[in-house]
Amino acid sequence: MEEAPVLVKAVVAYDGTDFRGFAAQGDDVRTVAGEINAVLSKVLHRPIVVACAGRTDAGVHAWNQVISFPAPPEVDVNRVARALNGMLGPEIVVRSIDIAAPGFDARHSANGRRYRYTIVNRPTPDPFLARYAWHVVEPLDLDVLRLAADAFIGERNFASFCRQGPPGSTTIRHVRESFWTDLGDGLLRYEVEATAFCWQMVRSITGTQVDMGRGRKHPGDIMDIFRAEDRSAAGAIAPPHGLCLWDVTY
C-alpha cells in the first residue's frame, strides 16, 4: 500500500518582469507557477500543481511568496530546492523549504499578506531600479501621501479599488497597516498589509494616492471614492513593476 504524501512548504522569490503572472495558464503562457510545476513534476516524477499564498499579476515581483505541494514521504526537500534553483534561478529561487504540518495550505492557511510598492520620485530615472520601481517625475507631497494612507486602514468595501471578480465574490477587505516611508534620494516606499487582497487592489490604492501626492486629487476624496463602489471613481492603476509581495503570515 502506497504511503500518503507529505505536504511541502517553500518560500520563493522571483522577478516577475518576464512572467504573465503567478498562476499557471497553459503551456503557451510563461508563468511563475507553470515553471515551478514543470520542474517539480520532473524532479518528483509525478504531476505537481502548487498552491500559493497570493496570485501576483503579470510583472509583479515577490520576496516571500509561499507555495505548498504534495510530495512522496521520502522526499529530500533540499534536493528539490537545489533542482528548482538550478533550473529556474535567478528568476525564481527557493529561499527556504520544509515539510509542512498536515492540512497546511499556502493560500487558505495564511492570515495576512504584506506588499511593498517602490517609487523613484526624482527627475532622472535609475537604471538599476527600472525593473522594480515606478519612476514618477512630478514631485510628490509625502505629507499628503501619509494622510491618504491612513484612510485605508480598517475593514471596508474596496469595490472602487478592485477589478471585478467572479460572481458571488466579495470586495470587503481588512487592511491592518498602510504607510509611506521616505528612503532618501527620491525613493519612496508604500507598504500595506491586509488579511487578503482583491484583484489589482494594491496597485489601485497606490495609483490613487500618487494622484493625491501630485495634487490631482485630495485625501478628503477617499471616503467618497469608497462610497461610490465604482472602479472609475478611483485614480489610475499604478504599473505592476513597482509592486512586490513582501511577506505572508500564518
Domain that holds residue 211: 112-249
Confidence at residue 223, expressed as pLDDT on a 0 to 100 scale: 93
Confidence at residue 2, expressed as pLDDT on a 0 to 100 scale: 60
Burial of 21 (C-beta count, 10 Å sphere; 0-12/13-18/19+)? buried
Which CATH number characterizes residue 87's domain? 3.30.70.580
Same-domain pairing of 117 and 95: no
Say if residue 3's pLDDT is above 60: yes
Segment (H or E) for 248: strand 243-249
- Is 105 inside a domain boundary? no
212: helix, strand or coil: helix
What is the distance of C-alpha 70 from the center of its chain?
Answer: 23
Same-domain pairing of 143 and 237: yes
Number of domains within the chain: 2
Burial of 101 (C-beta count, 10 Å sphere; 0-12/13-18/19+)? exposed
Give the separation between CA 205 and CA 11, rounded to whole angstroms. 26
203: helix, strand or coil: helix
Strand partners, 112: 249
Considering the entire predicted model, what is its pTM? 0.94
Residues 56 and 21 sit within 8 Å (Cβ to Cβ):
yes
Question: pLDDT tens across 21-74, in order?
Answer: 999 997 789 999 999 999 999 999 999 999 999 999 999 999 999 999 999 999
- Is 204 inside a domain boundary? yes
Question: pLDDT tens across 143-183, in order?
Answer: 999 999 999 999 999 999 998 766 768 999 999 999 999 99
Which CATH number characterizes residue 146's domain? 3.30.70.660
Among candidate residues 15, 18, 28, 57, the one labeled active-site is: 57
Same-domain pairing of 232 and 135: yes
Same-domain pairing of 84 and 201: no
- Is 104 inside a domain boundary? no
- Is 107 inside a domain boundary? no
211 annotated active-site: no
Same-domain pairing of 125 and 225: yes
Same-domain pairing of 36 and 117: no
Same-domain pairing of 41 and 139: no
The domain boundary residue, chosen from 71, 99, 127 = 99
- Is 228 inside a domain boundary? yes
DSSP letter (8 states) at residue 124? S
Residues 6+ apart with CB under 8 A from 232: none
Same-domain pairing of 155 and 177: yes
Residues 193 and 179 sit within 8 Å (Cβ to Cβ):
no
Same-domain pairing of 89 and 159: no
- Is 1 inside a domain boundary? no
Question: pLDDT tens across 105-132, in order?
Answer: 999 999 999 999 999 999 999 999 999 9
pLDDT confidence tier of residue 245, bands split at 50, 70 and 90: very high
Q: Considering all CA atoms of the chain, what is the largest pairwise distance in Å, rounded to the nearest integer?
A: 68
Give the mean pLDDT of 8-21.
97
